[in-house]
Amino acid sequence: MKLKGAQIFFECLKREGVEVIFGFPGGSILDIYDEMSRADVRHILVRHEQGAAHMADGYARATGRVGVCLVTSGPGATNTVTGVATAYMDSVPMVVFTGQVPTAMIGDDAFQEVDIIGITRPCTKHSYLVRDVHDIPRVIKEAFYLARTGRPGPVVVDLPKDVIQAYAEFRYPKRIDLPGYRPTTEAHTGQIRRAYQFIKKARHPVLYVGGGVIHASATEELLRFAEMNQIPVTSTLMGLGSFPAAVARPEAEGGVELHPLWLGMLGMHGTYRANMAVSHADVLIAVGARFDDRVTGKVSGFAPKAKIIHIDIDPTSISKNIEVDIPIVGDCRNALSKLIDMSQAEPIENLQDQRTPWLEQIHNWRETYPLRYVQGEDVIKPQFVVESIYRISRGEAIIATEVGQNQMWAAQYYHFVHPRSFLSSGGLGTMGYGLPAAIGAQVAFPERLVVNIAGDGSIQMNIQELMAAVCNCLPVKVAILNNRFLGMVRQWQELFYQKNYCGTCLDDASPDFVKLAEAYGAVGLRATKPSEVEPVLREAFSVNKPVLMDFVVEPDEGVYPMVPAGKSISEMLLV
């Protein structure tokens, strides 16, 4: 029996196990929407296609599964581009289906025609323009396979209207035939052995880990390897959650007990101890990280004394920004397992004696310059809000962020213990990411607490998605650290542009967030004094509805430590 292209589309999604589509309809994609009413899949109707892309992304980061988004041609497609680029930079598995004008009209500047394949070519892992209804199954199978394997990433599939209207026999291919795509997953044992010889001799080893550890589900191996060899661990923004920062759940009273090997995040807003440890390391083991400029600062000043071992699934990441001594191409989990086997077979002698001075040194760095802020009586400090979220959620929430100071404070003051619980746009730094990403995660985990830590600027970039949260009963919580500024940019102006605050002040230039929340049918809450922070959070976390919390915070607070652009990471500005 022949099926219509649009039916074939849903048959394929069923085979790929897709449960939810984030989308927005339009003329070119209407046949699929027509068929959707009969298909067994959940659809979240967004309010802007950028929101659809970020929701699919948030869903993917929180679950490890491929996020799916569906939009119409022309403006529907172009509206996803920021979301596609965001996913590309952070290696997020995602498939974006875009409508297209009928094949016969392609190239005629038809109504709502745009060359979305051309536009997204540099920010997708791969893309397809489907020209024949018979190709739909093969293309969809390949698209999902490419999105989730190797170094994951977004794939765009462009579907002309006549193709989804045509009929064909449906057959789902069993095999994938991509002769040009063979990611190396098995780490080279000889290279691993060489690496381990360096690690054995190291006096000041450091593990520098990134999002690749999470993508590869290698967090248990990382913990095991770090503990058995007593190697301190620092992480990139994307790697937060790959190593358990804290050893116990935070109690209502009293401090946090951090994992003794945890250094915190490194780089531009990294901790003093992480940046100092990397600067003094004699062996640096990079796992699933890519030596981004926000991490390395001035390249010649990064880990200047260290032999560098670099494990990554993507050969292009290796020796791109920094020349490494031992490159290891492969899956992080595979490589770490082999390192664990080697450490068991040939354990380091006198491990405790060897490590004690190094771990003591790190402890001293931590004591000298811990992350700190002073919470007075009158004005709420943004860091205090994040710490309170951490405490009240007992470290178990899924945290999304926007971009700017809010993002950095979330990274510094929320101590992540689980992978896939921190959703943040690292590579592209996309303001407006957090709210839709939080919604995507909430779709996957309806019972979990999902909090978007936001700035008063960023939240307005995709605020319309609050409506999608309300309509779909997705009780996300948004904590706006409202400093009445585009805070991170203001901080740069303060430090490097003689306090010329041009274009960054939002005082009296934002809506009343409480009323706004209510207008959308969500709950709006406000805290203006430190004593109100905890009651507001407790109330927000207890209602089963989306909540927008407006925390009126200190406008002049900065994120520290800070490595000025172009400086070595040991040259931190501290407070």
Ligand X SMILES: Cc1ncc(C[n+]2csc(CCOP(=O)(O)OP(=O)(O)O)c2C)c(N)n1
**Residues found near ligand X in the complex (CB under 6 A):** 402-406, 429-431, 455-458, 481, 483, 485-489
Q: Active site includes 265?
A: no
Q: Is the peptide bond before 561 cis (omega within 30 degrees of 0)?
A: yes
Q: Among residues 513, 400, 476, 398, which one has the least CA distance to residue 44?
A: 476
Q: Which of 322, 340, 379, 489 binds another protein (CB under 8 A)?
A: 322
Residues 92 and 147: beta-carbon distance below 8 Å: no
> Given the complex with another protein, which of 326 and 454 has the nearer CB atom?
326
Q: Active site includes 112?
A: yes
CB of 85 to ligand X, least distance (A): 11
DSSP 103-126: GGGTTS--TT---HHHHHGGGSSE
Catalytic residue selected from 4, 125, 141, 161: 161
- In which element (H, E) is residue 328 found? strand 326-329
Tokens of 501: 């605050």
Catalytic residue selected from 7, 16, 36, 49: 49
- In which element (H, E) is residue 61 found? helix 49-63
CB of 255 to ligand X, least distance (A): 25
Residue 488 interaction partner, one of ligand X, another protein, none, beta carbon < 5-8 Å per kind: ligand X
Q: Active site includes 305?
A: no
The three-state DSSP-derived secondary structure of 141-176 is HHHHHHHHCCCCCEEEEEEEHHHHHCEEECCCCCCC
Which residues are CB-neighbours of 571 under 8 A, at least 6 positions away? Answer: 297, 301, 563, 564
321 binds another protein (CB under 8 A): yes
Residue 314 interaction partner, one of ligand X, another protein, none, beta carbon < 5-8 Å per kind: another protein
Q: Among residues 555, 387, 550, 527, which one has the least CA distance to residue 480?
A: 550
190 binds another protein (CB under 8 A): no
Q: Active site includes 49?
A: yes
Tokens of 574: 């501290």
Q: Which of 138, 188, 200, 320 binds another protein (CB under 8 A)?
A: 320
Q: Where are the alpha helices (DSSP H) in 369-433?
A: 382-392, 405-413
Contact segment (CB under 8 A) with another protein among 48-56, 114-122, 219-227, 506-514 equals 114-122
Per CB under 8 A, which of residues 128..187 are in contact with another protein? 129, 131, 146, 178-181
CB of 433 to ligand X, least distance (A): 9
315 binds another protein (CB under 8 A): yes
Q: Active site includes 200?
A: no
Q: Among residues 83, 118, 122, which one has the least CA distance to residue 428?
A: 83
Catalytic residue selected from 11, 14, 112, 464: 112
> Given the complex with another protein, which of 14 and 126 has the nearer CB atom?
126
300 binds another protein (CB under 8 A): yes
Tokens of 286: 């990079």
Catalytic residue selected from 431, 467, 488, 549: 488
Active site residues: 49, 111-112, 161, 488
Residues in contact with another protein by CB under 8 A are: 117-118, 121-122, 125-126, 129, 131, 146, 178-181, 299-300, 314-316, 319-323
